[in-house]
């Protein structure tokens, strides 16, 4: 029976029972993942095809690999686990540091106005083994994002950088298994227009939810108070309301705080004069 695309997307994050000496393969976006089990150890290998980031290739849930041709080609990592640990599960999680979104065009939000837009963020796949208390083996980014510096060269912070479309309609968003949609609401509460080139999303505070067709994160509200002031970041509680059923798949890395005061916008194009 052939599964539909949305069923495959659901199945990726479902647990799989392993018998001894099994080895399985899965594909999430550009990430190919192999999991092997020997009687007491687990082995994980992966490779990425960056050219597949934009392609609409169907995701592949964990399934027994047909041939062992790639075993020698891959670089395996090994973990010691008890004999009882036979269940493997891939869990989506957000990147381990904030992501700076670089919209294609600078965005202008007039004073007193608010705007809701959606960004697609590539998730990481966490490999868990075991039944009762699952043991995390590793976390693998589906897409390797380049690094960027947000803030001034002395007190800023290291973030990931993502060039993506900032869209107002959900329908226009790409729907890939490795992307989660983050609704961002910007409220301009300053006395001036907000014209920014970068926005920093604190993804460590976001959980992941499975909607009917997509992965979702909590909604993020950013209140802009002025260029020299920190913005108020409010992380929404629970799944956003854009799709009816939304089951929580992955917990946030940091306990979500109701509101944070942090720098969120970047107005300077570069610091290349330094």
Partner 1 sequence: MLNNAFRELIGFFTLEVLQKVILVAVIAVVGLLILRFLSALLNRMTRKYLSQQYGMLLRKAIQYTGAVIVLFIILSVLGVKITALLGAAGIVGIAVGFAAQTSMSNLISGLFLISEKPFQIGDAIKVGDKSGVILSIDLLSVKIQTFDNQYIRFPNSLLITNELTNITRFPIRRLDIKFTVPYRTDVSRLRRVLLAAAEATPNCLDEPEPIIVFNEFGESGMQFLFGVWFHKNDFLAVKNSLMQRIKENFDAEGIAFALPARSHYGQPPGTLPPGRARAAPAETWGEAQRPARRQPSPPSAGAGARRRAGRKKS
Which residue lies nearer to partner 1 by CB, 4 or 155?
Answer: 155
Which residue's structure tokens are 């992501």? 99
Name which of 67 and 155 has its Cβ closer to partner 1. 155
Min separation Cβ 161 and partner 1, Å: 5
Instruction: Return the number of the residue (148 or 217) whose C-beta is nearest partner 1.
Output: 148
Least distance between partner 1 and beta carbon 148 (Å): 5
Q: Are 220 and 234 in contact (CB under 8 A)?
A: yes
Residue with tokens 């039944």: 131
Q: How far is the CB of 105 from partner 1 (least distance, A)?
A: 17
| 160 vs 216, beta carbon nearer partner 1 | 160
109, two tokens: 């939000």
Output the six-digit token pair for 198: 């970068």
- The binding site for partner 1 (CB under 8 A) comprises 100, 102, 144-150, 153-154, 156, 158, 161, 198, 266, 269-272, 274
Beta carbons within 8 Å of 82's beta carbon, 6+ residues apart:
40, 130
Q: How, if at all, do strands 31-37 and 77-80 pair?
A: unpaired
For the bound state, the minimum distance from the C-beta of residue 122 to partner 1, rounded and expressed in Å, comes to 13
β pairing state of 231-235 and 247-250 = unpaired
Beta-strand (E) ranges in 142-273?
146-150, 157-164, 179-188, 194-196, 198-201, 208-210, 215-217, 220-224, 231-235, 247-250, 259-262, 265-266
Which pair of tokens denotes residue 146?
Answer: 């380049």
CB of 29 vs partner 1, minimal distance in Å: 16
How many C-beta atoms surround the C-beta of residue 253 within 10 A?
18
Closest distance of CB 4 from partner 1, Å: 34
Q: With H, G, I as helix, E, B as strand and everything else as coil, classify residue 244.
A: coil
| Measured distance CA(200)–CA(196) in Å, rounded | 11
Name which of 11 and 48 has its Cβ closer to partner 1: 48
Gap between the Cα atoms of 221 and 116, Å rounded:
9
Minimum CB separation of residue 50 from partner 1 in Å reads: 9
245 versus 272: smaller Cβ distance to partner 1: 272
Between 67 and 272, name the residue whose CB sits nearer to partner 1: 272
């Amino acid at each position: 029976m052939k599964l539909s695309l949305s069923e495959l997307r659901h199945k990726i994050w479902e647990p799989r029972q392993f018998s001894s000496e099994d080895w399985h393969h899965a594909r999430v976006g550009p990430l190919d993942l192999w999991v092997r089990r020997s009687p007491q150890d687990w082995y994980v290998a992966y490779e990425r095809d960056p050219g597949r980031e934009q392609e609409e290739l169907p995701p592949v849930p964990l399934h027994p690999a047909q041939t062992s041709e790639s075993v020698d080609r891959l670089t395996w990592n090994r973990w010691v686990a008890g004999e009882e640990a036979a269940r493997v599960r891939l869990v989506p999680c957000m990147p381990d540091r904030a992501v700076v979104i670089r919209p294609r065009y600078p965005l202008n939000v007039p004073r007193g106005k608010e705007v809701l837009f959606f960004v697609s963020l590539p998730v990481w796949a966490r490999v868990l083994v075991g039944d009762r208390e699952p043991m995390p083996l590793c976390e693998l980014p589906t897409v390797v994002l380049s690094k960027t510096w947000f803030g001034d060269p002395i007190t800023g912070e290291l973030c990931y950088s993502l060039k993506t479309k900032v869209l107002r309609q959900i329908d226009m968003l790409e729907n890939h298994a490795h992307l989660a949609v983050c609704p961002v609401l910007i409220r301009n509460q300053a006395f001036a227009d907000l014209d920014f080139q970068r926005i920093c999303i604190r993804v460590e505070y976001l959980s992941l939810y499975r909607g009917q067709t997509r992965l979702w994160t909590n909604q993020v509200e950013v209140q802009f108070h002025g260029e020299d002031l920190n913005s108020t970041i409010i992380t929404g509680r629970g799944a956003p309301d854009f799709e009816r059923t939304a089951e929580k798949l992955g917990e946030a890395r940091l306990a979500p705080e109701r509101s944070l005061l942090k720098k969120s916008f970047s107005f300077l194009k570069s610091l290349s004069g330094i």
